[in-house]
Structure 1
Amino acid sequence: MIEVAAFTVGPVQENSYLVRQQGAESAVIFDPGDEAERLLGAIDQLGVRLDAILLTHTHFDHVGAVAPLARATGAPVWCPALEREVMLDVMRYVPWPGFGPFENHDPEHLVSGGESISLAGLDFDVIFTPGHSPGHVTWSLPAEQAIFSGDVLFQGSIGRTDLPFGDHQTLLRSIAGLLDALPDETVVHPGHMGITTLGTERATNPFLQDLVA
């Protein structure tokens, strides 16, 4: 069984997740978007070693605290391969004024989807889910029936596609792939808003009606 601590951070109210096996001494963190000191405090309070920083995509609200967390903990960063360039020049890709400044970080590992990766005693499958961003991935824990889906699927909504390189039809295909591949009981830990399940979204999400018709 996993323990998931959720932290809503930054002005865009992004969800970052600190995940470990129950009672384990090591953990991973997903999408540390802001408030690095708060996240580091939570890691210290739990008394865990951070084994990896896992990114679903590289929009600024999901990566703003990556560099300070990596520096403070020594944890390597796993980044979508198609979006590595963003991490090398984060501020260049911030679409609006008033955010940041955010530090760059050259990720130690790249993923493209299709990988099976074991970190902190957790066995992940990496699923390519583009549409919101070109290299977006979803991190799945099949044994736990849980996914960390970034900005693909939300409680009652879906990721926006009006940002650079977004594509609505591609996003819908990615969501359809998740619905086809994973059971309805799968718990969805999204990048914004509340936790849900694939079954709930299949049944009630108005943006998915055409997919499930």
Structure 2
Amino acid sequence: MTDTPAKPVPPLRAAVVPVTAFQQNCTLLWCTKTMRGAFVDPGGDLDRLEAAAARHGVTVEKLLLTHGHVDHCGQAGVLAAKLGVPIEGPHEADRFWIARLDDDGRQWQIPSRSFEPDRWLVDGDTVTVGELTLHVRHTPGHTPGHVVFLHPESRFALVGDVLFRGSIGRTDFPMGDHATLIDSITTRLWPMGDDVAFVPGHGPTSTFGVERRTNPFVADSQFG
């Protein structure tokens, strides 16, 4: 009897923790070699997030933000201060949203506090998590400063509220623009590859290929 070869450990792992009354998908992602990780869009429920990091044995070294809406980053400043870690993202065009977090928190009844990111991101930047390198694309439309994160080797992306399974982000908030959002999806996301799996800001995961075939807003058939 021969031993079965052990399956190789993937370089990146991720766990989705829905937070706030809006069930926003906060993602804990980590480098399996170093067990150092990041929270992407820690909008609230910090006790649940810290418990998830402890459960997976991850040392959180930074926070990454896709955009400035309250359910995605209302508690980012609080968590960063508590853990002593930096905040990277979103693009500075979302400064307007982050500046109004205190007011938006009261409006939506989500505990929130305004903050200043340690690093604003621009299209073409990279961010590191442990020994992982994520590529940054600026994807305006839902908000003007929205960004997405891609780990090319894992064929994995975090797209915030740009794209969902079967839908796309809202554009009726201040500074949203529908045509810009469609352009971001078709010119910034699709070239990443149909095989890329993504975690959206809300709801279930999907792949770019599935959305190109079936999404009623951005399927290839819509642009004949």
Same fold (TM over 0.5): yes
- Give the superposed CA RMSD: 1.8
Alpha-carbon displacement from aligned partner over 1:86-133 (angstroms, at most 9, x marks no partner): 3344123x2882423311221111102111232321111100100000
Which of 133, 137, 154 is the aligned partner of 1:123? 133
Residue in 2 aligned with 1:52?
Answer: 62
Structure 2 residue 183 is matched with structure 1 residue 173: yes
- CA deviation digits over 1:175-197, x for unaligned, max 9? 00134421100011110110100
1: CA distance, partners of 2:197 / 2:83: 28
Structure 1 length normalisation: TM-score?
A: 0.93
Q: Which structure would you say has the larger Rg?
A: 2
2:42 match: 32
Aligned twin of 1:6: 16
Cα separation, 2, equivalents of 1:91 and 1:118: 29
- Cα distance 1:173–1:95, how it changes in 2: closer, same or farther (>3 A)? farther
- Residue 83, structure 1, aligned to residue 94, structure 2: yes
Distance 1:9 1:155 in 2: 19
TM-score, scaled to structure 2: 0.88
Deviation at 1:38, TM superposition (A): 0.9
> Structure 2 CA distance, aligned partners of 1:16 and 1:169?
27
Match of 1:141 in 2: 151
Structure 2 runs not aligned, ≥5 long: 1-9
Q: What is the match of residue 113 of structure 1?
A: 123
Q: Provide runs of 4+ in structure 1 moved above 4 Å.
A: none
1:40–1:69 Cα contact (<8 Å) kept:
no
Query: Any stretches of 5+ residues in structure 1 without a counterpart?
Result: none
The amino acid that maps onto 1:125 is: H
Aligned match of 1:191 in 177, 197, 201? 201
Q: Do 1:87 and 1:107's aligned partners in 2 also have CA atoms closer than 8 Å?
A: no
Aligned to 1:104: 114
Q: Distance in 1 between matches of 2:189 and 2:53?
A: 33
CA distance in 2 between counterparts of 1:193 and 1:11 reads 13
Q: Percent identity?
A: 34
Give the distance between the partners of 1:192 and 1:119, measured in 2 at CA.
23
| Equivalent of residue 162 in structure 1, options 123, 147, 172 | 172
Q: What is aligned with 1:203? A: 213
Distance (whole Å) between structure 1 residues aligned to residue 136 and residue 223 of structure 2? 24
